[in-house]
Structure 1
């Protein structure tokens, strides 16, 4: 029977519960256990698919087409296990299911209440489908004390009683601030946070304390005494130079040992940290540096590009170089010459996005990369803008644009109204709901033999994750290919374009999908490894 680890947060948000959960999952795997990680989000949205990146950061997409919290990206990158739609749930989705049941009459006329109906639904979600795993790690979003988190906290409190003895462990991630004027690490915020948690019936087994320095012995003793935990269970979570150092740091601090002790398990003799030692070694010992310009429209919120940042780091690890990122707001290029911003970089990446704002700036970045023979990587919207640029500059279609921006005589990019998902025809209308209606999740693609992208992958049949509502219009394919922009990858039926590349350019590739979602530190995505390799070669030319 699976054992359950519940991770809560206190004092302030953004302490890194997702990263802590992922790192602990990696440690348990290193000890030979199988793990599953799940995220409970307290907000009322059904999923983050319609939320602005400035509100929520990246929307992480799974193989089965779920739009989920960015923490699931951490889970995948650290454990190598692909997540699915059953690994993330929100208050909105819980309530949506309960209300649908009520409308069907499933509650037989009873009054539907938070307790027991909402808490039971949360418990059902947490417990479902875990027979194959030794440990299930459940992260509760938000901070203890938030009103919207109360049903989730009540549900895990009940699970602490429902499950057999020694089958649950509660970890509370908290903050130990250092006050320079006092010269002291302060424990009072953590004490208050644990008091709040205990007031609703949850006694943490372990305190995972975020700090920027070693916890003094006296403060560690005080936390153990006033928070009712063993002194050894006050675990230091000091700031790390890289997120990929965290599993090693947590192991050194004794987190995995304390977790196993909470379950009454003697630490397994097997502990293989070679994978993480190799990752840390690659991160901290680069043999050079490349500079990549990321020309995007959400650069004020870097969490909007979380998976992208990590995939570029993985590409650097594959090439033994440090990747320096220059973040450039694409709107700048709508009013200024890109040259002063881009002449020094070794590669340009234009990521995904939605809407007209900043689109012309992305087109200008693609033009600069094409004309200067600079490595270019366009992802989703970045591919579409590169195709529009080629149509305008090479094919003479001066009015080429996307129907996403309004009516146009040259709809080079248009709204997708139907496509195949397996054997099922998917249909969408422009006036329909926005949530969950894009082409989402893993779809197969076929690459042209001998193309640059097929050489990078080392195969012609691939599967990648998508998240888009608009698609390059294949009616323009012949005209564009005559100008040197090759449609090197398509859907298996040949109807939807998946990749483009310039025939006479060292490295100019656009993809409609999101390869960053499948990159891992111990298995960098081939496109990111290839892009950074091209940037590394470019750095030797300048």
Structure 2
């Protein structure tokens, strides 16, 4: 019997519902239960694929090619369970489905309404693609009280009635602000947030109370009394020094125990949290540190590179060092010499991105890394900029560029209009929609023998996740290899360059895919492990 846990948030946004859901999943998983995590997003976009990273943060991509919310990255990193397209849905996708059905006549002439048609579609999503899991943890995006989330709240209220409390649990994440002038925590915002939930017919079974200060037993008792929740189910959610200590702290506060109690499940087996304790200890007690410069165009918003930052931290865990990230706006290097900012840096990473803004600054960073023998890691757009830099500086093609920036005499990087997925051809048009038309999801990559790439992965065929429209032009491969750039990873049909490296450089690798999406704290991605190791060796030279 699959049980459903719905996680809502109140008072303010950014309270950490995604982390709370992921940590709960990890705790239940450590007790031997099969779990799956899902996210309901209330915005009207069909998916986040066309949304600015400055507004939405990163777009997380699944193996099956879905562009999803960044919280699915937390789910994967904490549980190791690959997310699927069926694990994230938006209001836009729900409404698109309902309208398509109406146009086909599926509703037999009925007036299409939010209730029951939209809520039924939401409930279908929640219960779809369930394969015998013990728990489905479903996070509701937004904040209770937002008009956009009302259909989702109504849908989960209905599910609570239909399946019964023995199969449904409502967890509400809320805030207890500390008022320094009064010298106390305030419970009133939490009370009002629960009242807002009650107004749509949902009585929370548990409260996760975010706070910067210790929550006393008297305050827990007060919250329980006013919010009609058992005191044991008022769980303090205090700040921790690393997100990977969250499962440990939540277990200490009784989160998983109270969830099992709600469902009438008893367990004499304590969850094995050794892996989380080991990870937390590595983060708290590193044996050294390295400085990595991330040269991008969205560096003012940390969430724009969430998976990247975590993957670099995982590389640090694997090498038992602290990775200090220096976020640098690529446009700076278009105005000033890169050496002023990159001197003393142990590794340079240029991440993915779209558009011409900042591209010349990224190329300058690539040139600095290549000429100074500083470890360089180019991801997606970062690989393309590395190839353009090599074409200009080494292959004597000063007009080398990408057609993403406009017509080019030397289109070293060009628009991808046709590619293979398995045995099938996928196509896109230059005039087509932007949303969902990239090369998305997992694709195989053939690894060249005796390459740096083979040394890193230890195998000749790998699979990684993609998200891009433009590819390195295969017609320039021979000319670039003649000047020292090796194409060490190719699509299985040999048509699409996947990885380039410079064998004569200490560590210079560019990849067309996004390896950060598959890295986990307990299973650091080999590319990030190797890159941080190279940066550590560089730190001993400077």
Q: TM-score, normalised by structure 1?
A: 0.99
Q: Does 1:354 align with 2:354?
A: yes
- In the other structure, the counterpart of 2:186 is 186
- In the other structure, the counterpart of 1:339 is 339
- Rounded Cα–Cα distance in structure 2 between residues aligned with 1:118 and 1:429: 32
- In the other structure, the counterpart of 1:257 is 257
Q: Does 1:35 align with 2:35?
A: yes
Query: Aligned to 1:408, what secondary structure does the other structure show?
Result: coil
- In the other structure, the counterpart of 1:58 is 58
- In the other structure, the counterpart of 1:47 is 47
- In the other structure, the counterpart of 1:452 is 452
Query: Aligned to 1:194, what secondary structure does the other structure show?
Result: helix
More divergent stretch after superposition (261-270 vs 172-181): 261-270
Shift of 1:270: 4.3
- Rounded Cα–Cα distance in structure 2 between residues aligned with 1:216 and 1:179: 15
Aligned residues: 542
Shift of 1:164: 3.5
- In the other structure, the counterpart of 1:436 is 436
Shift of 1:128: 1.3
- In the other structure, the counterpart of 1:146 is 146
Shift of 1:131: 3.6
Which 5+ residue runs of structure 1 have no aligned equivalent?
none
- Rounded Cα–Cα distance in structure 1 between residues aligned with 2:275 and 2:300: 34
Shift of 1:268: 4.1
- In the other structure, the counterpart of 1:133 is 133
Q: Is the contact between residue 375 and residue 535 of structure 1 (CA under 8 Å) also seen in structure 2?
A: yes
- Rounded Cα–Cα distance in structure 2 between residues aligned with 1:165 and 1:243: 31
1:353-378 alpha-carbon deviations (Å, 9 max, x no partner): 00000000000000000000000000
- Rounded Cα–Cα distance in structure 2 between residues aligned with 1:112 and 1:268: 50
Q: Does 1:222 align with 2:222?
A: yes
- In the other structure, the counterpart of 1:319 is 319
- Rounded Cα–Cα distance in structure 2 between residues aligned with 1:393 and 1:269: 62
- Rounded Cα–Cα distance in structure 1 between residues aligned with 2:154 and 2:477: 56
More divergent stretch after superposition (209-218 vs 173-182): 209-218
Shift of 1:284: 1.1
- Rounded Cα–Cα distance in structure 2 between residues aligned with 1:216 and 1:269: 28
- Rounded Cα–Cα distance in structure 2 between residues aligned with 1:28 and 1:349: 36
Q: Is the contact between residue 290 and residue 346 of structure 1 (CA under 8 Å) also seen in structure 2?
A: yes
- In the other structure, the counterpart of 1:516 is 516
- In the other structure, the counterpart of 1:209 is 209
- Rounded Cα–Cα distance in structure 1 between residues aligned with 2:391 and 2:52: 30
Query: Aligned to 2:23, what secondary structure does the other structure show?
Result: helix
What RMSD, in angstroms, separates the aligned Cα atoms of the two structures? Answer: 0.7
Query: Aligned to 2:8, what secondary structure does the other structure show?
Result: strand
1:345-403 alpha-carbon deviations (Å, 9 max, x no partner): 10000000000000000000000000000000000000000100010000000000100
Q: Does 1:2 align with 2:12?
A: no
- In the other structure, the counterpart of 2:287 is 287
Q: In 2 relative to 1, CA 217–270 (structure 1 residues): closer, same or farther, beyond 3 Å?
A: closer
Query: Aligned to 1:443, what secondary structure does the other structure show?
Result: strand
1:95-146 alpha-carbon deviations (Å, 9 max, x no partner): 1011111111111111111000100110111011224200000000000000
Q: Is the contact between residue 38 and residue 88 of structure 1 (CA under 8 Å) also seen in structure 2?
A: yes
- Rounded Cα–Cα distance in structure 2 between residues aligned with 1:277 and 1:30: 13
Which 5+ residue runs of structure 2 have no aligned equivalent?
none
- Rounded Cα–Cα distance in structure 2 between residues aligned with 1:280 and 1:28: 19
1:303-340 alpha-carbon deviations (Å, 9 max, x no partner): 01000000000000000000000000000000101111
- Rounded Cα–Cα distance in structure 1 between residues aligned with 2:322 and 2:288: 6
- In the other structure, the counterpart of 1:306 is 306
Q: Is the contact between residue 39 and residue 89 of structure 1 (CA under 8 Å) also seen in structure 2?
A: yes
- Rounded Cα–Cα distance in structure 1 between residues aligned with 2:64 and 2:122: 21
- Rounded Cα–Cα distance in structure 1 between residues aligned with 2:168 and 2:417: 47
- In the other structure, the counterpart of 2:172 is 172
- Rounded Cα–Cα distance in structure 1 between residues aligned with 2:118 and 2:257: 34
